[in-house]
Structure 1
Amino acid sequence: MCLGFVFNKKLKTLCPFEEFSSPELVKEKVKPCENLVSNNVPGVIDKNNEDYNFSNLPTTTIYNSLNSNITTNTYYSTCERLIQFNDNHCGIYDLCTKFVRNLKKLSRMEVEKRTDYCEYITQWVYDEVRKIPNIVLENMNDTDALREFFNAIYEILRKLDITDCFFSTMNINFYEQKEKKYLHDYFKNYEKLKDENICKDDECKRYCKYIFFINDLYGKYINRSCYCYKSEGCKEHYPYYFKCDDNYNPHTLLAT
C-alpha cells in the first residue's frame, strides 16, 4: 500500500512506515483531553440545540468513518507542530492525524468519486474544528493553532498532489458553516428520508421536527444558492451543499 509513496520522492514522507514515532513519546507529549482544563471550555456551540444525527442515515456512516480513531503516533512527523497547541485546544493534534489519513484515502480514489468524498471531508473537518476548545472566532485564520493546522493540511495536499480538494480558511463563520453542513447532509440523505419506513412511533416526531428545521434553512439559502431561468432550469451557485432541483424541496417530504 505504501510503495507508491516510497518510490516517489515528493510523496515519500507520507509513507506510514516513516510517519510513526514512539507511542510512549507521543503519549507523553499529547495529554488526554479529560486531564486538561481546556476540555471544560467548549468550542463554538451550535445555535440549534437539537442534535439531528440519525444513525440510520447514509451520511452518518461516512462521517463515522472519517472520524474513526487512529493510532496516536501515526503521522506524527506531519502533525507534531500541533502538539504545542493541544493543551489549550485539546483534540487538534488528533484531528490533524485523522485529516491526513482521510486525505490519503482521497488521493487513492478514482476521479469520479473524489468530488463527493472531498465534500464530505470538507463538511466533516469544519464541524470538528468548531468543537475544539477555545475555538470561538469567526475567522479561522485568527488563531495560531488553526493557522498551523491548515498549513500542515495544505502541505499534505501538495505532497499528495491533490489539486481538486481545497479548504477555505478565511472568513469562516462556524454557525453558517454548520447550516451548510445540515443542507449538504439533507440532500445526500434525501432518498433515504423519502422512505416511509424510515422511523417508527415517537422517533417519527424527531424526524418531522428535523424536516421542519431543514425547511427553514432551505428557505433561507435558496435565493442565494440558485439562479433560475424561465425555460432553462436553475444554475447552482453552491452545488457542494445546495441542490436547486425542486424535487428536493422539503415540502415534498412534509406533504407525504
Structure 2
Amino acid sequence: MNIIHILSRILKKIFYHYLRINVKSLHHLSQHKYPIYFHLEKNEKNICSSYKDNDKNIFSDTCQALTSATVEYKDNIKKLCEDIIKLFCTLPERDENNNIRDNYLKFLNFWFNRELKKLITDKITRSSVYSHFNSLCSKVKDLNELKNNINEIDDVQYDKWCVLYELYDNYNKIINECIKKRNDLQNKCTKYYQEVVDLFNKGINYFNENSDYEFNNSMKELNFLYSKFKQEKNFQKIIKQKELKELGFVSDSKKKKVPNVDVICKSLSDADKIRSVNINSEYGVILENTPAQKIYKNFYKENIDESSCIKYCDALISENVDNNKDARICAKIVTNLKKLPNIKDVGDTHEDRCSNLTYWTYDILMKEFNTNKNVIVDNNIISELNNAIFRANSELKKDENCTYYIDGTFTEWTEEKNLHDYFENYSTFIKNITDNGIFSDTSIT
C-alpha cells in the first residue's frame, strides 16, 4: 500500500472526527449495502466535464430511445432517464477508495427504483425499462458504468431502503427546519420526530424478521444521529424533553443469552488488573517511551469497568469462561470510550484523545489476535464491537462522543498506526534511533 493511500485513509478518519457526524460522512468509510445520500454535489471533475453543452445531446438522444419501450409513459420515462444521468454526472471520479463511488451507485439505483415505481406499477413493464436502459448505457462509453448497476431491487430490500430513506428525510427536516432555522413549527417538528420513532420501530421489525446485519448497521448510524439532535436545545424547546423517546436499539433477539454475565464481567475486570501492558509493534526499541507508546499504555492501564462490560459486551460473552477474549477486548474498548474525557495523558484535545483511542483500538486487536498479516477479523466480532461502540456513544454527551468504525485489514491498520505514531513521536523517534545506534549520525538528514 503506497503512502498516498495510507494518508488518504487517515485523512478520511480525521475528517470524520471533525465533522462530528453528518449523514454523508457515515457512508464514506466503507462499502455499504444501504448508503443514503440526499445531496449529490457538483464536483470539479466528473465524466461529463469533457462534454460541451451541445455534445450532451447524446445523453438526451439515449433517453429518447428509451421511450420506445414504454410509449404510454414516454415523457415521464425520458425525464427520469435524463435526471439519473444528470445525477450520475455529479459523482466523483473513481479513486483509491472505490467504495465511495460504489455507494453512490447503489443509492442511484434505489433512487431510480423509487421514481420508476411512482410511474409504473406493473413489474413486467418496469423490467422492460431496466432492460432497455442498461442496453442503451452499454452503447455510450461514458455511461457503461451504469450498465447492470441499475436494476429492480427485490421487494424486501426495497422496503428496507425506503425505511432508511424516509428516516434520513425526516432527520434532515428536523435539522434544517426545527434546529437550524429555529422556526416555531411545533406541529411539524412533532410529526417529523414521531415519523422517526415509528420508522425506526418498523426497521427493527425488518431486522428481526431477516437478520440483515448490514441493515442493522445502517440503523445504528441513524440511532446515533437521533441521539445527537435529541440533545439540541432548539429542538428540546419545540418538543418537550420528556416526550423525546429513546429508540429501541436494534439487536438480534434470537441470540442465545449467556447466564451469569455479571460474574464473567467481574472475572474479566479482576484479571485485567494484573495483566501486563505490551504494545503491539515491530519497532519496539525505536518506539520505547515515545509519546504514542505512553498514550497507548495509559489506555491499557485503565481497568475494565464491570458495568460497561455487562451493558455493551454481553453479545460477545462465551459460555466457555476460559474463552472470553472477544468480550475482554470489547469491555476494554467501551471502558476507555466512556472514560475518555477523564483519562489522563492521552491527548490535549478531545479530537486528539478520540484519534488516539482509534489507533489504540487497532493496537489491542492486532495484539490480541497476534498477527500482522493481511487478514480481517471475523465479521461477527467486528459487527458486535462496532455495535458496542455505537451504543456507548449514543449515551455520551454531545461533546464527549468519539465515533469511529473498526474496518479494514491488519496490514492497513499497521500502516496507518505507524504513520500516526511517526507524527506523534517525531522528536523522540529521532533521538531513540541515534541513542541506540540504529543509524549513524551522518545517516540522519
Shorter-chain TM range is 0.5 to 0.7
Aligned to 2:403, what secondary structure does the other structure show?
coil
Q: CA distance change for structure 1 residues 115 and 32 in 2, over 3 Å: closer, same or farther? A: closer
Are 2:406 and 1:169 equivalent residues in the alignment?
yes
Asked if residue 70 in structure 1 is aligned to residue 70 in structure 2, the reply is: no
Shift of residue 102, structure 1, vs aligned partner: 1.7
1:205 maps to which residue? Answer: 437
C-alpha deviation, 1:62, in angstroms: 0.7
Q: Displacement, 1:65? A: 0.6
Alpha-carbon spacing, 1:205–1:10, altered in 2? closer, same or farther (3 Å):
farther
What letter corresponds to residue 334 of structure 2 in structure 1? V
Partner of 2:290: 57
Q: Contact (CA 8 Å) 2:264, 2:321: kept in 1 or not?
A: no
- 1:48-74 Cα offsets, whole Å, 9 max, x none, are 855456332111111001111514634
Q: What is aligned with 1:82?
A: 316
**Partners in 2 of 1:192 and 1:134 — Cα distance?**
27
Letter aligned with residue 58 of structure 1:
P
Q: Any unmatched runs of 5+ in structure 2?
A: 1-241, 247-259, 273-279
Deviates more, 1:120-129 or 1:73-82: 73-82
Gaps of 5+ in 1: 1-7, 12-20, 34-45, 210-251
Give aligned-pair identity as a percent: 26
Does 2:333 align with 1:99? yes
Q: How many residues align?
A: 177
Hey, what's the Cα distance between the residues in 2 that align with 1:53 and 1:149?
A: 31
Quote the RMSD (CA, aligned, Å): 4.5
- Cα pair distance change 1:108/1:61, threshold 3 Å: closer
Q: Amino acid of the residue matched to residue 64 of structure 1?
A: K
Alpha-carbon deviation of 1:97?
2.0
Q: Distance in 2 between matches of 1:150 and 1:113?
A: 23
Q: Is the 8 A contact 2:262 2:306 kept in 1?
A: yes
* Conserved 8 A contact 2:286-2:433: no
Look up the SS of the partner of 2:381 in the other structure. helix
Cα displacement (A) at 1:29: 8.6
TM-score for the superposition, normalised by structure 1: 0.52
Given that residues 106 and 117 in structure 1 are in contact (C-alpha distance below 8 angstroms), is that contact kept between their aligned partners in structure 2?
yes
TM-aligned CA distance change 1:189 to 1:146, over 3 Å:
same
Q: Which residue of 2 aligns with 1:225?
A: none
Which fold has the larger relative contact order, with Cα–Cα distance below 8 Å and residues 6 or more apart in sequence? 1
Shift of residue 83, structure 1, vs aligned partner: 0.9
Give yes or no for the alignment of 1:152 onto 2:388: yes
Normalising by the residue count of structure 2, what TM-score does the alignment of the two structures yield?
0.32
Is residue 82–residue 148 contact of structure 1 (8 Å, CA) maintained in 2?
Answer: yes
Q: Distance in 2 between matches of 1:25 and 1:88?
A: 10
- Is the 8 Å Cα contact of residues 194 and 253 (structure 1) preserved in structure 2? no
Kindly provide the CA deviation profile for residues 142-173 of structure 1, in whole angstroms up to 9, marking residues without a partner as x: 52122111101111111114576332334x02
Match of 1:189 in 2: 425
204 and 88 in structure 1: CA distance in 2 versus 1, 3 angstrom threshold: same
Instruction: Give the Cα–Cα distance (whole angstroms) in 1 for the partners of residues 380 and 269 of structure 2.
Output: 18
| Alpha-carbon distance change, 93 to 25 in structure 1, aligned in 2, over 3 angstroms | closer
- For 2:327 and 2:295, how far apart are their aligned partners in 1? 21
Shift of 1:80: 2.1
Instruction: Return the offset for 1:253.
Output: 7.9
